[in-house]
Amino acid sequence: MTEAVVDYPQCRITPLRMLKPDSAEALLNEVVKIPGIRRMMINGPNLPRTVPYGPARGKPNPNSNRKVIMVGGSEFELRVQVGTMIFEVLDDSVTEKIRALCDRFFTKFPYQLQTGKKYMRTQPTVADYAKYGPDVDPNLIGLMDPRNKEGPVIIQGR
């Protein structure tokens, strides 16, 4: 039996330009100060550690965008170029606070803030079930890529 899942509102920030690590760090550090954010995900194109295809396959891929950043006191390495940020929030007032923050933050180029409920999964898929079993932590559903060997980064917040 699947337990009833509470659908929290979600929102997604899409800046017109993909963010550099420094900008992403600055924005996320402001966002984590807003109370009421349950979960957060950063999306974007992958920045692999090694060259994935071609004659140079397997060789190291030095990339200044794959950088360790500090968010809310937790240090982690960006694995993607930051394209979109998805937040699951407790209620719509939190979304409005995020919108106000973005209005202040994005001055050089515009951004789009979309609201809805299905930007990240809230129920396990078959792939989730196969990999994590029936007792997976519901807070992690939608945050983990079942194909990826690296787990999610846990930022405790304040």
Which residues of this protein are in contact with another protein, per CB under 8 A?
15-20, 23, 45-48, 51-56, 59, 61-65, 81, 83, 108-109
* Nearer CB in complex with another protein: 56/68: 56
- Nearest CA to 95 out of 42, 37, 41 is that of 37
* Nearer CB in complex with another protein: 51/127: 51
Residue 114: HSE in the Cβ half-sphere, 13 Å Cα cutoff = 11
* Nearer CB in complex with another protein: 110/138: 110
139: DSSP letter: G
Tokens of 57: 């396959």
* Nearer CB in complex with another protein: 13/89: 13
Minimum CB–partner distance for residue 80 and another protein (Å): 10
Tokens of 125: 């898929």
Minimum CB–partner distance for residue 128 and another protein (Å): 26
Minimum CB–partner distance for residue 130 and another protein (Å): 28
Minimum CB–partner distance for residue 103 and another protein (Å): 18
Contact (CB, 8 A) for 118 and 33: no
Q: Report the C-alpha gap between 122 and 140 in whole angstroms.
A: 9
- Nearest CA to 70 out of 139, 120, 106, 21 is that of 21
